[in-house]
Amino acid sequence: MKKNTLSIHSENILPIIKKWLYSDKNIFIRELISNACDALNKVKILKEQGAIQSDESDLKVSVQIDKANRTITIADTGIGMTAEEVEKYIAQIAFSGAEEFINKYKSQVEKDPIIGHFGLGFYSAYMVAKTVDIQTRSYQPDASAVFWSCDGTSTYEIDAGSKASRGTEIVLHIDEESSEFLEESTLKELMIRFCRFLPFPIELNGQSIDNKAPLWMKSPSECTDNDYLNFYRALFPMDPDPIFWIHLNVDYPFTLKGILYFPKIHRRFDSKESSIKLFCNRVFVSDNCSDILPDYLMILRGAIDSPDIPLNVSRSYLQVDKNVRQLSSHISKKVSDRLTSLYKTDREKFISCWPDVEMIVKLGILQDEKFYDRVKECLIWKNSQDSWTTVPEYLERNPNSKIFYAPEDRTGSIGKAYREKNIEFLYSNAFVDTALVSFLENKLSCKFQRIDGALDDSLLDETREKTVLDSDGKTSGAKIASFIRQSLSKDGVEVEAKSLSLDSLPGMVILKEEERRLRDYMSLTQGKPMMNFLSKKTFIVNTNNKLVQAIERLQRKQPEVAKDLACHLYDLSLLAQKELEPSEVEQVISRHTVVLEKLADLYQE
């Protein structure tokens, strides 16, 4: 028997690896099974070349748990290793690789222990095992069996082995802290997670884990819609069916395969959490592609498989990696092509899918100039006439006009006033549209204005405007405005009385476009609506509205009631425009009750 020292400088490298990789201990099974599959694949290649003469078709990986002896054995019928190969590949190269890795990334690893996938391969076994034994026999006809064992210190044993047939057995003597892996259910779950798409049969305790070729390996022309749907259901069993998909298949200048699905309404807008599974040569690597793909594609689901994505490096490195950048822009182009071709060939379907794709289009436009150029023609808006349009189309219909818009759920009676005058406005949703609107103003040299961002002249009815001056030299409008202003006595709220053409609209609160955008922006960054953002408001009251006229009449006889009504009118307008904090709604309701009580009293008298 030979006793050798591992070619390594640090005595304590294994404890260090163990500690750093602790958070991602699970990957040992992925690494060892993928090594086994590599070895099987080599047999396949040698057979094709005629270098191995056996007609044996039994290429497989078997994992066996022995609970009593606390071992997990990963056995394969691959090419095996000679004693020289064990020395070279296991003892030297891997160790020096690990050492190099640790030296290189030491500072990063210390900062952020979960930097992802270390690719330490064979040595990840020491995350769960105190001792690892190898029994192996090379495919070469004159090779003899080899035994290797190392207890994680820097010495190992190498000796004649007992393996009678070609292949390798890795025996892990599981340490005390890793007993969970001796549970069949735990290990099975991990094997399914990491290895379900590997190309050779894989067994656990004699039972197949039912792994098979992933759909992305097939050529798109061979896949039916049902194949795609079934594959999605297998990947995301809890999800409703997706709306459409893209099959990626690139060989040059990088290798990329995969299927990306546009999911049905996403329940959450958590765009940092990706649902695109990342594979490397069919081995599952991660549930999350957020280091590789731009944020706006995080809504997509599916799987991508590319051996060209470096797996053992940090995020900041990934973002400058040339392959990763090319790959990411390729995917982005595919996504925009899919969207625009659907828009051109089946506008109806595109519109019906809009709620599901809207976020991808809008975030993509905001985050990626190239994406904007490709999808701009299919950026659609629902308008106040309940049809769908684009901004250029709007401008064609309404030349030299501002582009009026309003959040769909907040248009209330102001929307009615615009509709009555046949003024078209677009529905927006508050979440991204504030930023989008500013972006489009720059791009298209146009001006957007929310319908409550100013009082548009077209809403006025000049014929009923009261221009007569009384003895104080004031119009009746100016007087009621000043009474209401005093009644409200709120800093930063101006009151103006106007003759509006829609009588049923008692008033509206105008919040300047720029200030509102700033507020929306602040809300977005704060993560909560900021209704009471300090800004000037103008309360326009409609002199043609009965309630306003009633306040005017009650002013002298019942000043208190008139004052309450004025305050209430303001509250109602805020409520209609969804400008109240939830906590204020309560107060408004109790004030409202008081006003009604007073009015009821008045009626009795």
Residue numbers of the site for Mg ion (CB under 5 A)?
35, 121
- 129-137 and 167-174 beta bridge pairing: antiparallel
Residue closer to Mg ion by CB (options 31, 433) is 31
Q: Which of 6, 29, 65, 76 binds ligand ADP (CB under 6 A)?
A: 76
Alpha helices per DSSP H over 7-132: 13-21, 27-48, 83-85, 94-111
Q: Closest Cα to residue 17, out of 128, 171, 177?
A: 128
Kindly state whether residue 101 participates in binding ligand ADP, applying the rule CB under 6 A: no
* Contact pick of 14, 33, 90, 335 for ligand ADP (by CB under 6 A): 90
What single letter denotes the amino acid at residue 446? C
Q: Which of 72, 81, 83, 309 binds ligand ADP (CB under 6 A)?
A: 81
**Cβ distance to Mg ion smaller for residue 35 or 274:** 35
The one of Mg ion, ligand ADP, none whose footprint includes residue 89, by CB under 5 to 8 A per kind, is ligand ADP
* Residue 79: CB minimum distance to ligand ADP, A: 6
Q: Taking Cα atoms as reference points, which of 561, 570, 569, 568 lies closest to residue 590? A: 568
Site string for ligand ADP, 17-56 (x = CB under 6 A): --------------x---xx--x-----------------
State how far the Cα of 261 lies from the Cα of 301, in Å rounded to an integer. Answer: 5
Burial letters 306-326, b for 16+ CB under 10 A, else e: bbbbbebbbeeebeebebbee
Residues 537-576 as x/- pattern, contact with ligand ADP by CB under 6 A? ----------------------------------------
Q: Which does 278 bind (CB under 5 to 8 A by kind): Mg ion, ligand ADP, none?
A: none
Interacting residue with ligand ADP among 77, 117, 121, 480 (CB under 6 A)? 121
DSSP H helices, 236-321, are 315-320
What is the CA 601 to chain-centroid distance, rounded? 57
Helix H or strand E encompassing 305: strand 301-305
Alpha carbons 68 and 400: distance in angstroms, whole number: 83
Residue 289 interacting partner from ligand ADP, Mg ion, none (CB closer than 5 to 8 Å by kind) = none
Of 280 and 511, the one with the shorter C-beta distance to Mg ion is 280
Check residue 87 for interaction with ligand ADP (CB under 6 A).
no
Rg (CA), the chain: 35
- Does residue 89 touch ligand ADP according to CB under 6 A? yes
Distance CA 257, CA 216 (A): 6
Question: Of 22-30, 86-94, 249-257, 483-491, which segment contacts ligand ADP by CB under 6 A?
Answer: 86-94
Closest approach of Cβ 38 to Mg ion, in Å?
A: 6
Query: Checking phi first, is residue 73 left (phi over 0); if not, alpha (psi -120 to 50) or beta?
Result: beta
Tell me: does residue 168 bind ligand ADP (CB under 6 A). Answer: yes
Give the whole-angstrom CA distance, residue 121 versus residue 593.
72
Nearest 5 degrees, angle CA 573-CA 574-CA 580?
A: 160
Q: Is 298 an interacting residue with respect to ligand ADP (CB under 6 A)?
A: no
The residue among 389, 390, 374, 382 whose CA lies nearest residue 406 is 382
Which of Mg ion, ligand ADP, none binds 195 (CB below 5-8 Å, type-dependent)? none
Tokens of 350: 């595109």
| CB-nearer residue toward ligand ADP: 259 or 280 | 280
Q: State the binding partner of 36 from Mg ion, ligand ADP, none, CB within 5 to 8 A by kind.
A: ligand ADP
Binds 547: which of Mg ion, ligand ADP, none (CB < 5-8 Å by kind)? none
Query: Are 256 and 304 spatial neighbours (Cβ–Cβ below 8 Å)?
Result: yes
φ, ψ (nearest 5 deg) of residue 81: -135, 145
Q: Is 77 in the site for ligand ADP (CB under 6 A)?
A: no
Interface ranges with ligand ADP (CB under 6 A): 31, 35-36, 39, 76, 78-79, 81, 89-90, 94, 121-122, 168
